[in-house]
Amino acid sequence: MDDLFQKWKDKVPNYSKKFKDLFNSISAKGGAEGDKKISLGKHFSTNYELYIYAFFIGLYNNEHSPIPNEEKKINFSHHIRFWGNKSNRFDREDFSQIQEYIFTALIAKTDIDLIELDKGTISENEAVKELLLTLEAYTNGGLTLIKEKLEDNSNFFLQPTAFIDFMISEFSKK
């Protein structure tokens, strides 16, 4: 397991290029240019936070939506193993245990023959690839939901409770 989990953590998942603007507008990579985006809770302080959020939105709403082959995939060069690490982040807590919860969710949702994995007939690399595809598919689904929400109401995420509300309301709709 260590191998599988470790190998998976060494990866950088992709997202569809069509969400690049979404990342630019609601995550504040490298600090929020002094306009207190983070403290007001209106924005994510890093790209991977938005990525995680979108994944859970997709997961809770069962929006498994793989990135179509014709769409260009991009990423933000931040390995999963660093997600949520406290390191020197000011005024924040370590939440790296989230990596484990994402991983278990992916195991639950991915159609990998774990018996064959134990037998060694499927390699860890193949399994990790499948897990990543699941991660990308739910995230893609979550990002689509967020984008739709923004299209309906471009100011929705200006409220401090917006992301919480969205997570709870979307889930309760199901």
Partner 1 sequence: MIIKKIEINNFLCYYGTDNIFEFADGLNIILGENGEGKTKFFEAIVWLFEGGSNFKSKVSAKALKEAERGSEFEVSVVMEVEQYDVIKTVKRSFVVEKEDDADDFLPSSPQIIGIIESKNGEREKVDGEKLLDTIFPPEIRKYSLFKGESELNIFDNRDALNHLVNSFSSAKHYEKYVSIGSYLKKKSEAAVDKEIKNNSNKKNEIELLKVGIKSLEKEVKNYKEQIEINEAQKIKTEKEIKDAEKFVENADTLKIINDRIDKINHDITREEGRIKENYTTFLFDESWILSNYESIHQEFSDKINKLQKDRRRLQKNFDIEEGKRRGKEELTEEFLNGSLPLPIGVPSKIHMEEMIKEKICKVCNRPAKEGSSAYKFMEKRLKEYLAKQKPKVEKKQIDRILFENNYTQKLLNLSTSHENSLSSLRNIEAEIKDRFQFNTERKEKIKLLKEELENEIEDREKVIGKSSVGEKKLISIVKNYTGWQRDITRINKKISELEQEKKSADQKLREKIDQKEAIDMESASSFLTATRKILRDVEIIFRETQEAKYDEFIQKLEEKSNSIFQEINIDDFTGTIKLQKKILMGQPQLNIELHERDGIYYNPNQSLVTSMHMAILFAISELASELKNESYPMLFDAPTSSFGETKTKEFLNLIYETKKQRIILFKNYVGKDKNGNQTVKNEFKNVKRHKAFWIKRHRPFDKVDLSTINTNVISNI
Q: Tell me which residues touch partner 1 (CB under 8 A).
A: 1-2, 4, 30-31, 34, 36, 38-45, 49, 52-53, 56, 59-60, 84, 87-93, 95, 97-98, 100-101, 104-105, 107-109, 114-115, 117-120, 160-161, 163-164, 167-168, 171
Q: Which residue has the tokens 């193949």?
A: 126
Query: Closest Cα to residue 173, out of 145, 154, 137?
Result: 145
CB of 81 to partner 1, least distance (A): 15
Q: Residue 170 and residue 174: Cα distance in Å, rounded?
A: 7
Smaller CB separation from partner 1, 91 or 151: 91
- HEC assignment per residue over 141-156: HHHHHHHHHHHHCCCH
Smaller CB separation from partner 1, 136 or 170: 170
Query: Among the residues of 47-94, which ranges form H helices?
Result: 47-60
CB of 58 to partner 1, least distance (A): 12
Smaller CB separation from partner 1, 70 or 93: 93
DSSP state of 15: E
Q: Residue 72 and residue 139: Cα distance in Å, rounded?
A: 15
CB of 72 to partner 1, least distance (A): 21
CB of 67 to partner 1, least distance (A): 21
CB of 68 to partner 1, least distance (A): 25
Smaller CB separation from partner 1, 21 or 100: 100
Q: Residue 75 and residue 20: Cα distance in Å, rounded?
A: 9
